[in-house]
């Protein structure tokens, strides 16, 4: 049975929405963009949403809007997609890594607190795999040190903590809409914030630096072409109409995986959500216990792939990437929890329409591949 790692959930209403737009008169900066931004702001429960061409661009714009630049430090996690750290380099600031909590895989607030220096300007935390970071603890740290808190919720649309949706913590946050996310716009991202000044800057800088009310070809700042097109926005509007259905489906799939994997010796399913938490699952990542090695994990991945089952290691520690070793002088042993987790992760097939029999097939395959290691 061939089972892909990820698959976008595109239905008839999504296709119809895109077709209406692509055959219309406005393909950029039109009503679908406005509608998508309005839907996103309303869903998250914040005042402003600025849709752009990627979550990476959204983070870049937030950092620029805050005036973070050369000589500044931003505390962040080495266990994430690389864009969350690359964006810090984009503005010529320096990422300062701290290790993660071994259960949640999110940044460890206690280590954040001791990493603050006079050069620290912001904390950029990540809702890893859709699980909310400890935002209340991070908010207290940011307030105590006078820092800006930035929320990378690229993977967490629909996640909640203490009755608040991810994207509503900190000064500003972002979501991403790559095809493996909860909803997709093909490529795309969004800035979410209650700060009108941040929203104005991001909207301007994403549109070549054009200001609100500026005349044609008049630009008030250095900007970029980070715009989201109307077709992508139309897809986003249609997808948002069933976002809760999607989140619920992914929760059911995650629960079936956890129930089946829990009895397999050597496999650690993701930590269960806290009572005050809703996890909107982005991917399903289990891992091998610490008595297994990276070579063991890689053998399991090869075995699953040979069976036609999509799988990946997820994530590779950022501080061990060649560029980061060169720029920051980081290496093995710097962040031991991140390294131990990163060496043992297994991302299994996960998407909205994954069937129960396909999940059972994956679980049985994992069981058999783990048996080969014993």
CA angle 334, 340, 344 (to 5 degrees): 145
Both tokens of 55, joined, read: 């979550």
Rounded Cα distance, 243 and 137, in Å? 28
Q: Between β-strands 164-165 and 284-288, what pairing exists: parallel, antiparallel or unpaired?
A: unpaired
Residue 181: active-site member: yes
Rounded Cα distance, 42 and 29, in Å? 20
- The SS3 of residue 16 is helix
Both tokens of 312, joined, read: 């990946």
DSSP letter (8 states) at residue 186: S
Both tokens of 203, joined, read: 């909207």
Rounded Cα distance, 343 and 347, in Å? 12
Rounded Cα distance, 282 and 103, in Å? 17
Question: Considering 131, 181, 203, 227, which one is annotated as catalytic?
Answer: 181
Largest CA distance in the chain: 70
Centre a 10 Å sphere on the Cβ of residue 259 and count the other Cβ atoms it contains: 12
Q: Give first-to-last CA distance, the chain, whole Å.
A: 25
Sign of CA dihedral 330, 331, 332, 338: positive
Active-site residues, by number, are 181
């Amino acid at each position: 049975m061939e089972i892909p790692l990820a698959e976008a959930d595109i239905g008839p209403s999504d296709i119809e929405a895109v077709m209406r737009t692509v055959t219309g008169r406005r393909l950029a900066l039109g009503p679908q963009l406005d509608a998508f931004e309005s839907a996103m702001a309303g869903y998250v429960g914040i005042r402003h949403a600025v849709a752009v061409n990627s979550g990476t661009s959204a983070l870049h714009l937030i950092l620029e809007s805050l005036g973070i630049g050369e000589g500044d430090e931003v505390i962040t996690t080495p266990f994430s997609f690389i864009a969350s750290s690359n964006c810090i380099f984009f503005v010529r600031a320096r990422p300062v890594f701290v290790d993660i909590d071994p259960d949640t895989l999110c940044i460890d607030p206690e280590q954040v607190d001791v990493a603050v220096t006079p050069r620290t300007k912001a904390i950029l935390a990540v809702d890893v795999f859709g699980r909310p970071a400890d935002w209340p603890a991070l908010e207290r740290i940011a307030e105590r040190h006078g820092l800006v808190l930035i929320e990378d919720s690229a993977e967490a649309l629909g996640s909640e903590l203490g009755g608040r949706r991810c994207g509503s913590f900190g000064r500003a946050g972002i979501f991403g809409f790559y095809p493996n996310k909860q909803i997709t716009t093909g490529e795309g991202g969004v800035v979410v914030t209650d700060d009108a000044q941040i929203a104005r800057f991001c909207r301007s800088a994403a549109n070549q630096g054009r200001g609100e009310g500026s005349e044609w070809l008049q630009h008030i700042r250095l900007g970029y072409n980070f715009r989201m097109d109307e077709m992508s926005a139309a897809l986003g509007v249609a997808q948002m109409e069933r976002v809760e259905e999607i989140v619920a489906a992914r929760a059911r799939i995650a629960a079936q995986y956890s129930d089946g994997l829990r009895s397999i010796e050597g496999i650690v399913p993701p930590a269960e959500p806290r009572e005050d938490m809703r996890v909107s699952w982005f991917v399903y990542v289990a891992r091998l216990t610490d008595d297994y090695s990276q070579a063991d994990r890689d053998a399991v991945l090869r075995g699953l792939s040979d069976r036609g089952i999509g799988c990946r290691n997820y994530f590779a520690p950022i501080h061990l990437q060649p560029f980061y070793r060169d720029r920051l002088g980081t290496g093995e042993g710097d962040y031991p929890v991140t390294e131990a987790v990163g060496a043992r992760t297994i991302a299994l097939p996960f998407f909205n329409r994954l069937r129960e029999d396909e999940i059972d097939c994956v679980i049985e395959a994992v069981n058999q591949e783990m048996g080969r290691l014993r």
